[in-house]
């Protein structure tokens, strides 16, 4: 990060540097990154503290990575093995061994940052654990064409829900309808958004899978059914703001009056269950029930532009940046 942004991201907020490899502390691993993710969480960290400390100018943009282990402490992963990790937009990273995890040897390697990585797992645990979804319920998903959202909506559909997707463009909504089987879609940028949303939800909304917060959360709250649930996954709408927006008006009374539940979660809360979830997500993809969308860009220098585009709503599915070719022998 070259400087802390205020408002929308631009290329001047980023800088790329060639530096010597840092010394590896005794309890750390040296990784050669193969894929790095592009995610709004990086923008959030540039703004202020989240589940990680605020990023300072000169620090590396944080990201999930898929990487080859180059060197590790005795008893650690074998050099040459492929792992997932919390690292950053770097060709090589030195991270504590506690920040890497083994990968299930399934799927395309890049999918370990999408369907089989944080996004797929966030969708999975948000829908399966936090939403407590029942067949026949109405589920609204915001950011519904995004990395998490396009999978969350499909998982809700597979669980028997009627899914209503919210995105920022008619083109994305067409993809949701045609390729992902969403029965109803709404464009958040339309002047008639509130009416369109109400019309798309003739029955009350049982679950709101919220990836954006802000005004969309405020619009969905009054539509919730008694005992409705809000799955607080992300607040992309506030990541560009210097101060978080005020909470929706009358929030507490809305929660009380309809016995609503609003619950935040982090995908890391479910770490011990990741393996089983990855195998299930992969099986759903193989059976054709679940479609995972990803776009891969090449080279570290493409990462800032991809994040700028994502924050402006330009992505459909996951954006991933490839830094090195897939290693030989990875199953697909």
Ligand X SMILES: NC(=O)c1ccc[n+]([C@@H]2O[C@H](COP(=O)([O-])OP(=O)(O)OC[C@H]3O[C@@H](n4cnc5c(N)ncnc54)[C@H](OP(=O)(O)O)[C@@H]3O)[C@@H](O)[C@H]2O)c1
Residues that bind ligand X (CB under 6 A): 39-41, 44, 118-119, 122, 143, 145-149, 167-168, 172, 188, 211-212, 214, 216, 233-237, 265-267, 310-311, 313, 315
Q: Which is nearer to ligand X, 29 or 167 (CB)?
A: 167
Instruction: Find the shortest distance in angstroms from Cβ 109 to ligand X.
Output: 19
Between the CA of residue 143 and those of 180, 272, 314, what are the distances in Å? 14, 27, 11
Buried b (16+ CB within 10 A) or exposed e, 296-326: bbeebebbbbbbbbbbebebbbbbbbbbeee
| Rounded Cα gap, residues 318 and 141, in angstroms | 16
Residues 6+ apart with CB under 8 A from 293: 145, 150, 175, 179, 316, 317, 318
Structure tokens at 151: 């999978």
DSSP state of 126: I
Instruction: Find the shortest distance in angstroms from Cβ 63 to ligand X.
Output: 11
| Rounded Cα gap, residues 205 and 225, in angstroms | 5
Residues 6+ apart with CB under 8 A from 101: 83, 84, 85, 271, 274
Instruction: Find the shortest distance in angstroms from Cβ 231 to ligand X.
Output: 9
Instruction: Find the shortest distance in angstroms from Cβ 73 to ligand X.
Output: 28
H or E element in which residue 151 lies: helix 149-158
């Amino acid at each position: 990060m070259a400087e802390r942004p205020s408002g929308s991201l631009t290329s001047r907020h980023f800088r790329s540097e060639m530096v010597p490899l840092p010394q590896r502390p005794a309890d750390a691993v040296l990784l050669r990154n193969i894929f790095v993710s592009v995610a709004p969480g990086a923008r959030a960290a540039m703004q202020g503290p989240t589940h990680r400390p605020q990023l300072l100018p000169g620090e590396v943009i944080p990201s999930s990575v898929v990487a080859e282990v180059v060197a590790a402490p005795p008893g650690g992963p074998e050099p040459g093995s492929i792992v997932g990790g919390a690292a950053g937009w770097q060709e090589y990273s030195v991270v504590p061994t506690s920040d890497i995890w083994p990968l299930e040897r399934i799927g395309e390697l890049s999918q370990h940052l999408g369907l089989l990585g944080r996004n797929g797992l966030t969708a999975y645990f948000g829908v399966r654990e936090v939403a407590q979804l029942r067949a026949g319920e109405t589920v609204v998903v915001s950011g519904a064409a995004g990395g998490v959202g396009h999978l969350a909506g499909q998982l809700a559909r597979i669980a028997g829900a009627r899914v209503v997707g919210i995105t920022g463009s008619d083109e994305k909504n067409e993809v949701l309808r045609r390729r992902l089987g969403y029965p109803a879609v709404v464009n958040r940028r339309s002047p008639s958004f509130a009416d369109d949303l109400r019309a798309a939800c003739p029955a009350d909304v049982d679950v709101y899978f919220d990836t954006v917060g802000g005004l969309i959360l405020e619009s969905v709250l009054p539509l919730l059914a008694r005992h409705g649930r809000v799955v607080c996954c992300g607040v992309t709408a506030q990541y560009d703001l210097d101060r978080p927006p005020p909470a929706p008006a009358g929030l507490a009374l809305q929660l009380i009056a309809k016995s609503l539940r609003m619950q935040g979660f982090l995908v890391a809360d479910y770490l011990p269950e990741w393996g089983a979830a990855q195998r299930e997500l992969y099986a759903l993809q193989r059976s054709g029930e679940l479609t995972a969308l990803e776009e891969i860009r090449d080279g570290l220098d493409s990462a800032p532009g991809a994040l700028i585009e994502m924050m402006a709503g330009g992505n459909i599915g996951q954006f991933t940046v490839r830094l090195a070719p897939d290693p030989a022998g990875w199953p697909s």
